[in-house]
């Protein structure tokens, strides 16, 4: 009887399986495809998607079965969702924003962050790296997006940036004495190697994906210098070694040469901004395989806003006028020198959703449009450590796909007008 029962169940299971309708696929008919690998565009292709992954890219416009869903983008240019490697998704510069640390509760920051995340996704940026927040809001936002509670890009976050006392990311800069306790490693402020290790471990504990440190002064902090070195060699070495223990990459804010040289020699993964790079720094970056993330848009934006009376405190406005206009030229020289470049904007310093301005400035500075696009696809995914999953429209990758009218290789500005956004096989925008 047992044998008969098993045979009966097996037969029933097999019959049920044979009776089920064929699984439904999503087919995107792409008129022109820039696949993100750096290859030249192809025309009239079908992208086949099952669940959240691309399973095939097929020649021609494949005829669907009765269960398939077809998305007709035959009159558009289709690209991978872009990756912005330098954002601050939980904040945005605006008049009076220097008071937000006194007036905004964590919940205020979180609700604004969700709004900024949705804007970013709809602008075609399906993945971002967040390089500094407050209250670890970007960790919670990442988790909420991954759980489907709110729409937004994939987030890889550093949580709180690391600084030395009085350094660019010291949250107590500008406070009067006695207003707040002296911040320490748990708040992202460190001095010495023991505190360096503790600060990295604190970021791991709160759920960060990577480490961000401010190796030099910066523009928007309430401090005198925008470019002086702010970490010693042993502190940098301790941060990098500890980060590696936790399989975390290290991104470095740096404007001044000395701070960049120290960080590159310590083995960091990327230099952000890099304003005062010279030929010796380019050579060192190539020797160590260090990526450059330019953030030209941020430089131009702070220089423009420094001319608005009262927008920045006087100390900040002076630095913005000096440093901001230089980054595009630095980018041009770094590109000509052959430094590895990944796309990053510093969105949040300017308005979220305007990330595609960076492409325009890169092309203005001499980078061909296809190469500029590739910095936001393949190169960004490689720096992120996610090339197996992100950065191109190829079989096996997540179905992160966008589309625009026109040809960005003829007019790069069309990337600022995204018409279709899919992330992980889910359509978020289809104008």
Q: What is the pLDDT of residue 4?
A: 34
Q: What is the pLDDT of residues 327-351, one digit of tens each?
A: 999 999 999 999 999 999 999 999 9
In the numeric block, which tokens belong to residue 384?
């992120």
Same CATH fold assignment for domains 2-80+393-430 and 82-384 = no
Rounded to the nearest 5 percent, the helix, strand and coil shares of the chain are 40, 20, 40
Which of the residues in the chain have pLDDT under 50? 1-20
Paired with 216 in beta bridges are 229
Please, are residues 87 and 342 in contact by the beta-carbon 8 Å criterion?
no
Minimal CA–CA distance to 218: which of 345, 349, 362, 103? Answer: 349
For CA atoms 7, 8, 11, 17, give the dihedral sign. negative
CA distances for 102 relative to 29, 49, 129, angstroms:
51, 47, 26
Q: What is the pLDDT of residue 85?
A: 98
Q: What is the pLDDT of residue 70?
A: 97
Q: What is the pLDDT of residue 40?
A: 97
Rounded to the nearest 5 degrees, what angle is found at the Cα of 325, between the Cα atoms of 324 and 329?
Answer: 120
Hunting for tokens 């740096």 — which residue is that? 254
Minimal CA–CA distance to 57: which of 47, 43, 67, 72? Answer: 47
Q: What is the C-alpha to C-alpha distance for residues 132 and 109, in angstroms, rounded to an integer?
A: 13
What's the CATH number for 82-384? Answer: 3.20.20.140
CATH fold of 2-80+393-430, please?
Urease, subunit C; domain 1 (2.30.40)
DSSP structure string for 346-410: -BTSS-TT-TTHHHHHHHHTT--HHHHHHHTTHHHHHHHT-TTTSSS-STTSB--EEEESS-TTT
- Phi then psi for residue 369, to 5 deg, are -55, -45
pTM assigned to the model: 0.92
Q: Print burial letters for 327-365: b (CB count within 10 Å at least 16), e (below 16).
A: bbebbbebbebebbbbbbbbbbbbebbbbbbbbbbbbeb
Please, are residues 169 and 221 in contact by the beta-carbon 8 Å criterion?
yes
Q: What is the pLDDT of residue 14?
A: 39
Q: What is the pLDDT of residue 22?
A: 53
User: Taking the domains of the chain in order of start, what are their residue ranges?
Assistant: 2-80+393-430, 82-384
Q: What is the pLDDT of residue 206?
A: 96
State the DSSP code for 292.
Answer: E
Minimal CA–CA distance to 416: which of 39, 203, 125? Answer: 125
Q: What is the pLDDT of residues 38-97, one digit of tens each?
A: 999 999 999 999 999 999 999 999 999 989 999 999 999 999 999 999 999 999 998 888
Q: What is the C-alpha to C-alpha distance for residues 431 and 422, in angstroms, rounded to an integer?
A: 12
- Phi then psi for residue 280, to 5 deg, are -70, -35
- 42 burial (CB, 10 Å; 0-12 / 13-18 / 19+) is middle
**Calculated CA dihedral for residues 274, 276, 278, 283, nearest 10 degrees:** -30
Q: What is the pLDDT of residue 82?
A: 98
Number of Cβ within 10 Å of residue 225's Cβ equals 17
* Backbone region of residue 159 per phi and psi (left: phi > 0; alpha: psi in -120 to 50; beta: other values): left
């Amino acid at each position: 009887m047992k044998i008969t029962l098993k045979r009966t169940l097996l037969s029933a299971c097999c019959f049920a399986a044979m009776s089920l309708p064929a699984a439904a696929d999503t087919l995107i008919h792409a008129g022109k495809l820039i696949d993100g690998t750096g290859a030249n565009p192809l025309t009239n292709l079908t992208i086949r998607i099952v669940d959240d992954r691309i399973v095939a890219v097929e020649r021609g416009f494949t005829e669907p079965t009765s269960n398939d869903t077809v998305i007709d983008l035959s009159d558009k240019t289709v690209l991978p969702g872009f990756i912005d490697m330098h954002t601050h998704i939980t904040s945005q510069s605006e008049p009076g924003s220097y008071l937000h640390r006194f007036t905004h509760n964590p919940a205020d920051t979180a609700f604004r962050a969700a709004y900024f995340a949705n804007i970013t996704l709809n602008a075609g940026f399906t993945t971002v790296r967040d390089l500094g927040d407050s209250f670890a809001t970007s960790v919670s936002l990442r988790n909420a997006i991954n759980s489907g509670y709110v729409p937004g890009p994939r987030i890889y976050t550093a949580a709180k940036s690391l600084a030395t006392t009085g350094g660019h990311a010291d949250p107590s800069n500008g406070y009067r004495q006695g207003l707040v306790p002296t911040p320490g490693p748990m708040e992202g402020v460190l001095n010495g190697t023991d505190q360096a290790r503790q600060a990295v471990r604190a970021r791991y504990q709160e759920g960060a994906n990577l480490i961000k440190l401010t190796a030099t002064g910066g523009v928007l902090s309430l401090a005198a210098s925008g470019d002086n070195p702010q970490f010693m060699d042993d502190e940098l070495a301790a941060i990098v070694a500890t980060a590696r223990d936790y399989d975390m990459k290290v991104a470095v804010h740096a404007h001044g040469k000395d701070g960049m040289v120290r960080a590159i020699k310590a083995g960091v993964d990327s230099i952000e901004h890099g304003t005062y790079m010279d030929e010796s720094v380019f050579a060192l970056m190539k020797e160590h395989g260090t990526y450059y993330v330019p953030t030209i848009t941020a430089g131009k934006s702070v220089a423009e806003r420094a001319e608005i009376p009262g927008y920045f405190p006087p100390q900040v406005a002076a630095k913005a006028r000096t440093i901001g206009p230089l980054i595009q030229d630095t980018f041009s020289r770094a590109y000509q020198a052959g430094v590895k470049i990944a796309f990053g904007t510093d969105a949040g310093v300017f308005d979220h959703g305007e990330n595609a301005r960076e492409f325009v400035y890169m092309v203005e500075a001499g980078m061909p449009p296809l190469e500029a696009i590739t910095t936001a696809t393949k190169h960004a995914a490689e720096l992120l450590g996610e090339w197996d999953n992100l950065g191109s429209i190829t079989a096996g990758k997540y179905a992160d796909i966008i589309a625009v009218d026109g040809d960005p290789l003829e007019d790069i500005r069309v990337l600022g007008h995204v018409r279709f956004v899919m992330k992980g096989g889910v359509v978020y925008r289809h104008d």
